[in-house]
Amino acid sequence: MNKSGSKLEIAPLQSLIDEGFWHKLTNLKLNHWGLDDSPVSLTGFFAPCSHPKLSNQLTLLSESLPSESSELPSSTSSSHTNRNKCPVPGTLYNLNTMESFNDVDEQQLLKEEAEKIWADIHNGNIETDCARLLRFVVISFADLKKWEFYYRVAFPTLVLHPPATLVDLKPASEWFTVEEAKFVSTACNEWRNSTSTTGVPFFLVTIDSESRATLRDLSEWESCRLENHKILFGFYDPCHSPKHPGWPLCNLLAFLHSRWSLETVNFFCYRESRGFADMKLSLVGEAQISSQDGTDKNHLPQDFGWDLYKRQKKTRSINLATSMDPTRLAESAADLNLKLMRWRALPSLDIALLSSTKCLLIGAGTLGCQVARTLMAWGVRNITLLDNGKVAISNPLRQSLYTLTDCGQDKAVAAANSLKSIYPSVDAKGVVMSIPMPGHPVSIQEEKKIIDDCRQLQDLVNSHDVVFLLTDTRESRWLPTLLCATANKITINAALGFESFLVMRHGYGPLGSSVEAPDVLSSNLGNLSIGDKDGAQRLGCYFCNDVVAPVDSTANRTLDQQCTVTRPGVAPIASALAVELLVGILHHPLGMYAPAEIAGSNGSGSSETPLGILPHQIRGSISQFTQMTLIGHASNSCTACSKIVVSEFEKNGMDFIMKAINHPTYLEDLTGLTELQKSANLFEPDWDYEDELEDDELVEI
């Protein structure tokens, strides 16, 4: 209990930070601030105490931070203000490392903040915006990888020397007459209920000789004092204690003493009960101030005020990972690496473009699994995998989306499910189908199914932005290549040898009519001499540029050839390069129309993007540890992407496809090439095995 003449003791504020604050801080940090750690304006909220459990709290909510769109601080007089949220200004120092968080010179920081208050006192700002007396500071470090937030909160306080003396402190109901108390209550309730004053935490209470009370702005003090009324300095008191005034009194006394040289102050700790002024809970007291230096505006009082947590000045931390929705948490975490890339290494990274790009992966084997994983890591969120196989027991060791429990399942489906186990909100689909292949004649009965397959594949190609060719045969790449050339889709091809690989992007399609050039293209085409659209300078496709030994057919392949036996290091490298090539295309201003660049050829007029060069073909050998880039132009007699083939397909559609499938020499005849060889009919083995051998089956001899 403060006795008369004792030192004034005040209950400190404590911070209560809502999780929403940290979520928004995370978004701002990742999307806007990056490495910028300049101070950020905050708005804290408090209110007169109305419940013992909510005593002495300053609350930070998501709206305490600047809005994401404008990056402007939320206005302290925003519509968020209401009787339970009196706004006070604060400053956030969010630091980039744990070390700098820990190394903050707290005294210096507090001094700077106290100086702001001191300046506001002396330049008259407090009279117009008294909440500035309650300025606060937050320093924090957000470990966004672990969703762990470290922070300290301080309330800079202007300390009087010698300390103020408390002459009297009692419940307002005892200090006021019954009449006065009634009038004060009414006046306070009006003040609190008016939108123009509910957010103003300091005020004058004047009581005239007829016990009528009025609440006014602090700025009216000069005129009030002439009226010879009783004057009290009121403030919203967040403290519940009947023995102690709350925190706002500290700086109020410093203000009154420094600005107006008051030495005796009657103060009114305004508190509420159930939303109404409560004169029994509210306190009135008298403080005596006898500071020598208080009025010297060039002399800043000592500052003071770190949020004392359990009586020790300690860093507090909160981990939000456990409270978040797992899917949302995964999404945030997934984007983390990408957003971090933009901070420093790759500011031009277009995360939105990547996440909206639809990728069709033809083949869900060793290459398909690894390509899908790398696409996900780059932020691609729409992935369709196409495969007709089932997961075999030998697959999981090399095909990184499968475990043994997937064996026997359709690969395409198992792969899509596996992607979801890594990132639940990925839009991953599995399509189980075979790719019709040229030179593999089919019977009349099968023809309808083949045509259906062709149509389904065409629909898939048309509904995606990018097609990856990741199968293990040459013929299975033909139809997708043709469909991509026709629909003018970005096409990335990866093919493996035993210890070598080829990764390439196909050129754009041969038909000017179907080319939808991006806007930027029209202005750049001239400069870059992409050439005429008949393909003279078009980049080639896999069938134009056959640089790995072609595997002509699935027929007559021994087991080591069927399994596409390769050194295990080859596929991860080819897959990684295939995805990096795509990311390069997507970030190039000319996209798929970008000319090919060669490694080490800078200065040759290449328009190198922040991602690096954009080659046409990359060939690598794992036995020689070499890698090289090559350019191959489109061939006018290519069986898959030449104008004559694409035109014929556009004209005759499925008829053309069936001719190519059924007549091994058709494409050859059409283009004049002997590119695709005949292949034997696929043998259909008798799957039926029974142990029971029947007796008495007789043959004549």
Residues within window 415-434 making contact with a second copy, judged by CB under 8 A: 418, 421-424
Using the contact rule CB under 8 A, the part of the chain among 191-199, 388-396, 449-457, 484-492 near a second copy is 388-396
Distance of closest approach, residue 331 Cβ to a second copy, in angstroms: 9
Pairing between β-strand 466-469 and β-strand 427-432 as defined by DSSP bridges: unpaired
282/635 with CB nearer a second copy: 282
Which of 1, 274, 344, 522 contacts a second copy by CB under 8 A?
344
Token pair for 415? 């792969």
The identity of residue 425, as a single letter, is S
CB–CB of 251/163 below 8 Å? no
Alpha helix locations (H) across 322-443?
Answer: 326-343, 351-356, 366-377, 411-422
For the stretch 104-111, contacts whose Cβ atoms lie closer than 8 Å and that sit 24 or more positions apart, written own/partner, are: 104/139, 106/139, 106/152, 106/154, 106/306, 107/303, 109/137, 109/139, 109/154, 110/137, 110/154, 110/156, 110/303, 110/304, 110/305, 110/306, 111/300, 111/303
Half-sphere exposure of 596 (CA within 13 A, CB side): 21
Distance of closest approach, residue 658 Cβ to a second copy, in angstroms: 24
Q: According to the binding rule CB under 8 A, does residue 549 interact with a second copy?
A: no
188 is an active site residue: no
Q: According to the binding rule CB under 8 A, does residue 105 interact with a second copy?
A: no
649, 655, 656, 660 alpha-carbon torsion, rounded to 10°: 150
422/654 with CB nearer a second copy: 422
39/424 with CB nearer a second copy: 424
11/187 with CB nearer a second copy: 11
Q: According to the binding rule CB under 8 A, does residue 498 interact with a second copy?
A: yes
Which of 62, 96, 273, 607 contacts a second copy by CB under 8 A?
96
60/657 with CB nearer a second copy: 60
Q: According to the binding rule CB under 8 A, does residue 145 interact with a second copy?
A: yes
Sheet of 230-236: strands edge to edge? Answer: 6-7, 165-171, 283-288, 264-270, 230-236, 202-207, 213-216
**How many residues belong to the chain?**
701
Using the contact rule CB under 8 A, the part of the chain among 67-75, 139-147, 505-513, 585-593 near a second copy is 139-147
Token pair for 685? 């083995």
Which residues in 674-693 contact a second copy (CB under 8 A)? 680, 683, 685-689, 691, 693
Which of 45, 202, 235, 378 contacts a second copy by CB under 8 A?
378
192/619 with CB nearer a second copy: 619
Q: According to the binding rule CB under 8 A, does residue 26 interact with a second copy?
A: no
46/183 with CB nearer a second copy: 46
Q: According to the binding rule CB under 8 A, does residue 14 interact with a second copy?
A: yes
Which of 263, 499, 534, 552 contacts a second copy by CB under 8 A?
499
Q: According to the binding rule CB under 8 A, does residue 400 interact with a second copy?
A: yes
Which residues in 579-618 contact a second copy (CB under 8 A)? 579-580, 583, 599-600, 611-613, 615, 618
157/198 with CB nearer a second copy: 157
Which of 84, 119, 343, 591 contacts a second copy by CB under 8 A?
343
Q: According to the binding rule CB under 8 A, does residue 193 interact with a second copy?
A: no
Which of 206, 214, 491, 575 contacts a second copy by CB under 8 A?
575
- The residues near 28 (Cβ < 8 Å, ≥ 6 apart) are 40, 65, 66, 68, 71
| C-alpha to C-alpha distances, 84 to 141, 190, 297, 426, 536, nearest whole angstrom | 29, 15, 34, 41, 73
The identity of residue 143, as a single letter, is D
Distance of closest approach, residue 138 Cβ to a second copy, in angstroms: 15
Q: Encode 34-64 in three state secondary structure.
A: CCCCCCEEEEEEECCCCCHHHCCEEEECHHH
**Crossing angle of helices 366-377 and 411-422, rounded to 10°:** 30
Which residues in 293-322 contact a second copy (CB under 8 A)? 304, 308-311, 314-319, 321
| C-alpha to C-alpha distances, 277 to 150, 200, 268, 274, 433, nearest whole angstrom | 37, 15, 12, 8, 74
Alpha-carbon gap, residue 66 to 89, rounded angstroms:
12
Per-residue x/- mask for a second copy, residues 213 to 252, rule CB under 8 A?
Answer: ---------------------------xx--x-----x--
Cβ neighbourhood burial of 362 (10 Å; 0-12, 13-18, 19+): buried
Distance of closest approach, residue 686 Cβ to a second copy, in angstroms: 5
Alpha-carbon gap, residue 258 to 525, rounded angstroms:
71
Q: According to the binding rule CB under 8 A, does residue 373 interact with a second copy?
A: yes
Q: According to the binding rule CB under 8 A, does residue 396 interact with a second copy?
A: yes
Which residues in 611-650 contact a second copy (CB under 8 A)? 611-613, 615, 618, 620-627, 629
Alpha-carbon gap, residue 347 to 343, rounded angstroms:
6
Q: 10 Å Cβ neighbour count for 382? A: 19
Q: According to the binding rule CB under 8 A, does residue 163 interact with a second copy?
A: yes
Largest Cα span, the chain: 139
Of 273, 268, 272, the residue nearest 253 (C-alpha) = 268
CB–CB of 277/270 below 8 Å? yes
260/304 with CB nearer a second copy: 304
Pairing between β-strand 136-143 and β-strand 86-95 as defined by DSSP bridges: parallel
Q: For tokens 């105490």, what's the residue?
A: 49
Using the contact rule CB under 8 A, the part of the chain among 126-134, 153-161, 513-521, 524-532 near a second copy is 153-161
Which of 258, 266, 370, 473 contacts a second copy by CB under 8 A?
370
Q: 10 Å Cβ neighbour count for 544? A: 25
Catalytic residue (choose from 86, 541, 544, 563): 563
Q: According to the binding rule CB under 8 A, does residue 7 interact with a second copy?
A: yes
Which residues in 550-569 contact a second copy (CB under 8 A)? 555-560, 562-563, 565, 567-569
- The three-state secondary structure class of 317 is strand
Using the contact rule CB under 8 A, the part of the chain among 83-91, 95-103, 215-223, 488-496 near a second copy is 95-103
Token pair for 373? 């994983």
Size of interface with a second copy, in residues (CB under 8 A):
140
Q: According to the binding rule CB under 8 A, does residue 150 interact with a second copy?
A: yes
Cβ neighbourhood burial of 463 (10 Å; 0-12, 13-18, 19+): exposed
Which residues in 41-70 contact a second copy (CB under 8 A)? 52, 55-57
276/304 with CB nearer a second copy: 304
Q: According to the binding rule CB under 8 A, does residue 516 interact with a second copy?
A: no
Q: According to the binding rule CB under 8 A, does residue 473 interact with a second copy?
A: no
334/469 with CB nearer a second copy: 334
Q: According to the binding rule CB under 8 A, does residue 143 interact with a second copy?
A: yes
Using the contact rule CB under 8 A, the part of the chain among 104-112, 538-546, 549-557, 660-668 near a second copy is 549-557
28/461 with CB nearer a second copy: 28
What H or E segment, with its residue span, contains residue 261?
none
Catalytic residues: 563
